Amino acid sequence: MSKHLKYLLAVGLLCLAPLVKADLQTLQTLHEIRSEGYKAATYLLIDNNLYQRVREPGHREAYHEALDGMDSRIRQIDNPSDLRTVFDQFTGMIRDLENQPEDEAHYNLATVNRIMQTHAQLDEVLAERYAEHADLADERLAVLHQQSLETNQILLLYQNNMFSSIGVYFMDTHEGIFSDMNASIVERFSTMRSLLPEQAAAISQLDQQYSFIQPRLITYYQDWVPTIAAFYLLRNTDTLNNLAREQLRISTTG
């Protein structure tokens, strides 16, 4: 290869590097928007489930915090119209629910059902946009994102199962799905240990916290513990997302 050609290739790679870094950051931001969407949907269901005799203000605060995070991150990626439109529908329907009289809002599960349908539409848009950049992620970043996503999904599925009148719209379901998702999450912890040996302590803590709530997920039809499940599993997704940010930093500066 001639020196001139080598020079041109080197210049080309230097020019591409900032674009790859920007696309990876977009990938991370899309993942975090999606993660916040699951958190918002989780706490919306907790706030409106009939097993809760007293409505805790913290549940509404939690989903509002998640919505604020989604809004901020959507702006960071330049407000794509398809994403902004569905997000605005999602937040608008939640405001409508909150503006209903207290008793009506607590029992109007038809409204909650429509909100969950809109969440699924929002999640689909995010998944499609994520897929456009997914091939840029190395296996370390990809495994962290997937573990975060499936943890969010098994948690929302658990909350969803408290409602006989609200469908599951964000994923296809089948008999034994909790066992299948649990097996996938447990197996992925082993993959994470192999790929991220420097994060062994953090991964062990994640595994321990998941194992604590795991029996409740498997026997989801017994003794509902919606807030406890959310506490432990969302703590895991927060840690996984932080680890993903760190991995992104390493991959774009190394």
Whether residue 13 has pLDDT greater than 80 = no
Q: Using an 8 Å Cβ cutoff, are 176 and 191 in contact?
A: no
Measured CA angle at 209 (ends 208, 215), to 5 deg: 95
Residue whose tokens read 């977009």: 26
Q: Using an 8 Å Cβ cutoff, are 48 and 106 in contact?
A: yes
Which pLDDT tens digit goes with each residue over 223-251?
789 999 999 999 999 999 999 999 999 88
Which pLDDT tens digit goes with each residue over 154-194?
999 999 998 888 999 999 999 999 999 999 999 999 999 99
In b/e form, how buried is each residue of 180-195, taking b as 16+ CB within 10 angstroms?
ebbeebeebbeebeeb
Amino acid at 127: A
Domain assignments of the chain as residue spans, ordered by start: 24-253
Helical H runs in the chain? Answer: 3-48, 57-76, 81-99, 102-107, 109-133, 139-160, 177-195, 200-218, 226-253
Which pLDDT tens digit goes with each residue over 35-67?
999 999 999 999 988 766 667 889 999 999 999
What is the percent of the chain with per-residue pLDDT over 70, rounded to a whole number? Answer: 88
